[in-house]
Structure 1
Amino acid sequence: MSTGLLALLDDVAALVKVSAASLDDVPAQVAKTTGKVSGIVIDDTAVTPKYVVGLDPKRELSIIYKIAKRSLINKALLLGPAALLLGFFAPWIIQPLLMLGGAYLCFEGYEKVHSMFSKHPAAHEQQEEVKVITPEELEKARVTGAVRTDFILSAEIIAIAYATVAEDPLVTQIVVMLCVAVFITAAVYGFVGLIVKADDIGLHMAKNSKKPNIQKIGRGIVKWMPLFLKTLGYIGTAAMLWVGAEIIAHGIPVLHHGLQAIEHALAGVPIIAWLAKAVVCAIGGLILGAILEKIVVLVRRLIKPTAKV
């Protein structure tokens, strides 16, 4: 009896040692994964502020907190476990799901570009579509839209994190993906909060500081923040097209090799290579988004008469 107990304790001790050894690699794996998803993190940071612009300034941080909380829940409790399960039972399905998410980003990005350049409909057409909503409903709609977009970007982040640690022990996989989820969510939404409250910070500096230089900086922040937020909105839309198309391209060998060819051709100037690849992906995403939008419109027209019957 005592011999069996000692053997069991030896096995537990060995398991603890293996787990501890694997956990020593966690910081390096987290750093490696964070580097790989840096582009998506930038995109997420650029996309999010546009969901807050135009709402009550007093509600901005609260709205960002709501989005951040949902984002962390999605990463830690939904996408992370889903990646582990799919990686074990059906690893082949991860890439198609990511490509579907990429197609959605292209579709949403195209709709935003189209709304920027399309003419306003006639007055009678506008009256037919007008719907008055309360500030609370608008806030809820903005949060829902932000969380939906963040879910796609988060899925790509978690998929990359899983691919980085796919060959590691299960404990390492779980800890790394959890650390990545917490760190990236805090970094993205902390910076987003700083961006949307920058004008308030600038106003405080301009009014309350006794130093002329600080006051000047504060006035400059207040003056340029609207333009900065508008520009950031354009960058966020372009990022949606770029990231969506790149996700799809990674799942299609011909397109993937084409992007690699661009990188190799411009390898001597890395920033130009990155920019060229981003522009090609953004244009491709815009074209794909336009095609998807036509398909969605056609499907809606086919379904709408049926709904009226």
Structure 2
Amino acid sequence: MATGLIALLDDIAGLAKLAAASLDDAASQATRAGAKAVGVVIDDTAVTPRYVTGFSASRELPIIGKIALGSLRNKLLFLLPGALALSFLAPFLLTPLLMLGGAYLCFEGAEKVVEALWPHGGGEEAEPATPRDAGAVEDQKVASAIKTDFILSAEIMALTLAGVAEAGLATQVFVLAAVGIGITGLVYGVVALIVKADDVGLALAREERPASTLFGLRAPSGPAPTPGDRRLRPLTRAVGRGLVRLMPALLRGLGIVGTAAMIWVGGGILVHGLEGFGLAALGHGIAHAAEAVGDRVPFGEAAAEWVVTAALSGVVGLVVGALLIPVARHLVTPALASLRA
């Protein structure tokens, strides 16, 4: 009896170790799969702050919260089951759909580049009149942001699924859910920090008693500023003013990085997709160019190869996106307009 109990406990311990190893492997796969979606994540982070522009400071965080919940609902209730169904019913469609998403990223990025270089003001259609009710305007903005997020989330989930296509069902569910929840928390947490940073800076710049009020978080302890307040006030005022001045430049820089990331990630998806269809010449050419540059640098070989690969993938993405702009404007957009009509 004792021997059997010891054997049973040993089997349980072995199963626990196996489960822990499987969980650790799934977690590492989730990390790797999420890293592949970095370009889409950066773009999502760059796009979202514009949806809270024009609202009072008290509504910014609630709006971001609504968009985050909508994004999480998109990923877990719609995209995750859809991705798993696609993986089991029609896995051959995964690469074409991934390439379609990559082409869309290239188009979006190239369109932003063209608009930045040759802005057109007069030819744009007038936007429909927005409702006067502030609540209706907010709901309209949130719905628009969630629609945009759905497209970006679909690309994230497709990239994630492609990274674990050979894994079991349980691992796929875990990885897709972990990446979906983790990326949503990361994106909208960063967005919340970005959106509120200027308000924090303004509060710090105006705070006369930073030490005694704990940077404005508690009521003042006395009728007059303390010596600690007078010593700390120049520093907090400088930090606050710096935040207020920095945020516009940060948002512009984030937009540029997001556009670049869309183009290089989209181009990379297309290059790898072509390799999957046996058209590996372009991918091999990029790899050889990256290796040639890496061999010539005295240090940082891996970093140099990554830069070259990203740059050449970005060139591919920019060319493809530029070719898709007239197709979208003269064929796709009129076709969609006629369908809506």
TM-score w.r.t. the length of structure 1 is 0.78
2:41·2:187 contact (CA, 8 Å) conserved in 1? yes
* Structure 1: distance between partners of 2:51 and 2:240: 24
| 1:197 alignment partner, SS class | helix
1:102·1:152 contact (CA, 8 Å) conserved in 2? no
Which residue in the other structure is 2:182 paired with? 183
Instruction: Pick closer, same or farther for the CA change 1:101–1:139 going to 2, 3 Å.
Output: farther
Which residue in the other structure is 2:313 paired with? 281
Give the % identical residues: 45
Please, which of 244, 247, 250 is the counterpart of residue 222 of structure 1?
244
Compute the displacement of 1:306 (Å).
7.8
| 2:130 alignment partner, SS class | coil
Instruction: Pick closer, same or farther for the CA change 1:107–1:142 going to 2, 3 Å.
Output: farther
1:40·1:153 contact (CA, 8 Å) conserved in 2? yes
1:102·1:244 contact (CA, 8 Å) conserved in 2? yes
TM-score w.r.t. the length of structure 2 is 0.71
Compute the displacement of 1:55 (Å).
4.8
Instruction: Pick closer, same or farther for the CA change 1:107–1:51 going to 2, 3 Å.
Output: farther
Comparing both chains, which one has the higher relative contact order based on Cα–Cα distances under 8 Å and sequence gaps of 6 or more?
A: 1
Summarize deviations over 1:51-77 as a string: whole Å, max 9, x none. 444554443223322322222122212
1:103·1:289 contact (CA, 8 Å) conserved in 2? yes
Q: Which moved more, 1:219-228 or 1:265-274?
A: 265-274
Instruction: Pick closer, same or farther for the CA change 1:96–1:148 going to 2, 3 Å.
Output: farther
2:40·2:262 contact (CA, 8 Å) conserved in 1? no
Gaps of 5+ in 2: 1-11, 211-228, 276-280, 295-299
- The structure having more radius of gyration, on CA atoms, is 2
Compute the displacement of 1:293 (Å).
1.8
Gaps of 5+ in 1: 1-12
* Structure 2: distance between partners of 1:301 and 1:177: 32
* Structure 2: distance between partners of 1:141 and 1:286: 32
Q: Which amino acid aligns with 2:194?
A: I
Summarize deviations over 1:203-238 as a string: whole Å, max 9, x none. 122222231222211111111111211222222222
Taking the TM superposition and a 5 Å limit, the aligned residue runs for 1:143-162 are 143-144=142-143, 146-162=145-161
Compute the displacement of 1:279 (Å).
3.0
| 2:61 alignment partner, SS class | helix
Which residue in the other structure is 1:109 paired with? 109
| 2:304 alignment partner, SS class | helix
Tell whether 2:77 aligns with 1:77: yes
Taking the TM superposition and a 5 Å limit, the aligned residue runs for 1:289-300 are 289-299=321-331
1:47·1:239 contact (CA, 8 Å) conserved in 2? no
Taking the TM superposition and a 5 Å limit, the aligned residue runs for 1:103-252 are 103-121=103-121, 129=126, 131-134=128-131, 142-144=141-143, 146-208=145-207, 209=210, 210=229, 211=232, 212-252=234-274
Q: Number of paired residues? A: 291
Summarize deviations over 1:74-97 as a string: whole Å, max 9, x none. 221222222222222211101111
Instruction: Pick closer, same or farther for the CA change 1:56–1:293 going to 2, 3 Å.
Output: farther
* Structure 2: distance between partners of 1:121 and 1:176: 44
Tell whether 2:278 aligns with 1:266: no
Summarize deviations over 1:172-229 as a string: whole Å, max 9, x none. 3212221221112111110111011111111122222231222211111111111211
Q: CA RMSD in A?
A: 3.3
